C-alpha cells in the first residue's frame, strides 16, 4: 500500500529535493531526518544532547515523510501544504461554538488570507518547524474546547499530549499546558477539574520525556539542553537599554517590522487583528464576564509570545516564529468585533 501511495504521489506531483548544505535550519532538519531514517531513532548525526534548531519533534516528522515518500524535500512541502489547509478547518472547528455563522465565515476567510499572505508564501516550502506547529495548535484548541465542554479525561489527555507535541516542535510553548491547567483550576475548583489538570500536565511530561529519553540514550545523562542552551538568546546590554530593547521587540511582534529590521515595513493587517483583541478585552472588562475558551486564548498569547519577545532571535527568517499564533489572534479579534457590535444577547458559552 505504501509503495502504491508513493508511486501515485510521484506520478501526480514529481517530487525533488532542493535542500542545499547551506547551514540554514532547513539543512539541519534535512540532515537530522536522514540520520533518523538511516541510523535509528536516536538521531546519530547529533552526537550529544539535542539543542538546535529547536524543532526536535519536527525532525521525526520530516523523517516520517521521507520514509513514506522518499528523501525529497518536495514531499514535505506537499504534506505541509495539506496540513496548513487542515489547520484552517481545525481552527474554524475549534471556535465554531463561540461565533455566529456569519462571523465564523468571516473568521475562516481571514485565516485563509493571513495564512496565505504571511505563512504559505514564505515558509510552507521550507523545512521549518512552524509548518507543523500551526497544525498542532489547531488540534490543540479542538482538544481543549472539548475538555471545556465535556470535562472528559480523554480530552484532558489529548490536550496534554498535543501540548507536549507542541513543545517538542517549538520549546517556547512549554508553559502552555501548565498555564491552562491553572486556568482550569482557577475557573472551577472541583475534584474532576483538578484530576483533568493533572492529566493535562502528565500528557505534557510524557511527550517531553521523548527528548529526555533520546538524550539519555546518547549521553547516559538526563539533560534538556534544548531549553537551557543560551548561545542564541538575546538580551539588553544594560538595565537602561531594557525598555527600548523589549519595546522594539513587542512592536515587531505586533506587526511593526521596521522596529527591528529597518528595510521592512509594517503589517497593517496585523494592527487591525490586535486592535480586535483589545476590543474583546474591553468588552470583557465592561461586562465583567469572559468565556472560558476566550480566556484560554488570551492566556495563550503571552505564554506563546512571551519567551519569543524575552530571549528569542525573533527576526530569524522574518516572521516565521509569529505566524503560527496569528489564527488565535484573529479569533479573538473576530470575537471582539462580534460581541462589541452585536445588539443581541452576548454569545457566551457556559461549559459544563
pLDDT for 228 equals 81
Residue 150 lies in a domain: yes
CA–CA dist 264, 247 (Å, integer): 17
Residue 351 lies in a domain: no
Instruction: Compute the Cα dihedral for 33, 36, 37, 38 and give only its sign.
Output: positive
Residue 303 lies in a domain: yes
Residue 191 lies in a domain: yes
Any idea which residue has 479542538 for its cell? 142
Q: Is the pLDDT of residue 9 over 60?
A: no
Supply the range of the domain harboring residue 64.
Answer: 2-341
Provide the whole-model pTM. 0.93
- Grade residue 229 by pLDDT with cuts at 50, 70 and 90: confident
Residue 346 lies in a domain: no
Distance between terminal CA atoms of the chain?
A: 44
pLDDT for 343 equals 62
CA–CA dist 236, 239 (Å, integer): 7
pLDDT for 325 equals 97
| Alpha helices per DSSP H over the chain | 2-12, 25-39, 56-69, 73-94, 101-114, 121-123, 130-150, 153-169, 176-187, 191-219, 225-228, 242-254, 268-287, 292-311, 326-341
Average pLDDT for residues 272-296, to the nearest whole number? 95
Domain tally, the chain: 1
Q: Which of the two residues, 20 and 165, has the higher pLDDT score?
A: 165
How high is the mean pLDDT of the chain? 91
Average pLDDT for residues 1-25, to the nearest whole number? 65
Amino acid at each position: 500500500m505504501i509503495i502504491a501511495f508513493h508511486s501515485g504521489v510521484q506520478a501526480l506531483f514529481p517530487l525533488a529535493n532542493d535542500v542545499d548544505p547551506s547551514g540554514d535550519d532547513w539543512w539541519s532538519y534535512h540532515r537530522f531526518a536522514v540520520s533518523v531514517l538511516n541510523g535509528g531513532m536516536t538521531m546519530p548525526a547529533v552526537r550529544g544532547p539535542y539543542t538546535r534548531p529547536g524543532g526536535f519533534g519536527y525532525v521525526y516528522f520530516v523523517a516520517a515523510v521521507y520514509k513514506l515518500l522518499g528523501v525529497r524535500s518536495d514531499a514535505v512541502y506537499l504534506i505541509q501544504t495539506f496540513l496548513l489547509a487542515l489547520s484552517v478547518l481545525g481552527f474554524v472547528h475549534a471556535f465554531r461554538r463561540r461565533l455566529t455563522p456569519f462571523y465564523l465565515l468571516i473568521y475562516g476567510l481571514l485565516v485563509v488570507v493571513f495564512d496565505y499572505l504571511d505563512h504559505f508564501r514564505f515558509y510552507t516550502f521550507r523545512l521549518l518547524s512552524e509548518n507543523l506547529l500551526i497544525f498542532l495548535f489547531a488540534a490543540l484548541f479542538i482538544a481543549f474546547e472539548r475538555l471545556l465542554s465535556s470535562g472528559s479525561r480523554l480530552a484532558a489527555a489529548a490536550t496534554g499530549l498535543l501540548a507536549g507535541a507542541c513543545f517538542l516542535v517549538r520549546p517556547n510553548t512549554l508553559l502552555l499546558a501548565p498555564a491552562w491547567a491553572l486556568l482550569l483550576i482557577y475557573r472551577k475548583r472541583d475534584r474532576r477539574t483538578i484530576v483533568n489538570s493533572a492529566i493535562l500536565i502528565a500528557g505534557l511530561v510524557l511527550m517531553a520525556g521523548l527528548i529526555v529519553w533520546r538524550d539519555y540514550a546518547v549521553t547516559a545523562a538526563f539533560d534538556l539542553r534544548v531549553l537551557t542552551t543560551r548561545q542564541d538568546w538575546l538580551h539588553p546590554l544594560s538595565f537602561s537599554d531594557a525598555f527600548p530593547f523589549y519595546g522594539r521587540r513587542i512592536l515587531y511582534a505586533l506587526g511593526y517590522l521596521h522596529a527591528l529590521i529597518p528595510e521592512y515595513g509594517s503589517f497593517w493587517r496585523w494592527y487591525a487583528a490586535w486592535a480586535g483583541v483589545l476590543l474583546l478585552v474591553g468588552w470583557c472588562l465592561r461586562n465583567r464576564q469572559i468565556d472560558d475558551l476566550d480566556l484560554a486564548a488570551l492566556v495563550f498569547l503571552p505564554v506563546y509570545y512571551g519567551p519569543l519577545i524575552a530571549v528569542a532571535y525573533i527576526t530569524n527568517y522574518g516572521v516565521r516564529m509569529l505566524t503560527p499564533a496569528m489564527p488565535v489572534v484573529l479569533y479573538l479579534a473576530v470575537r471582539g468585533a462580534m460581541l462589541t457590535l452585536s445588539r443581541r444577547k452576548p454569545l457566551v458559552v457556559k461549559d459544563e
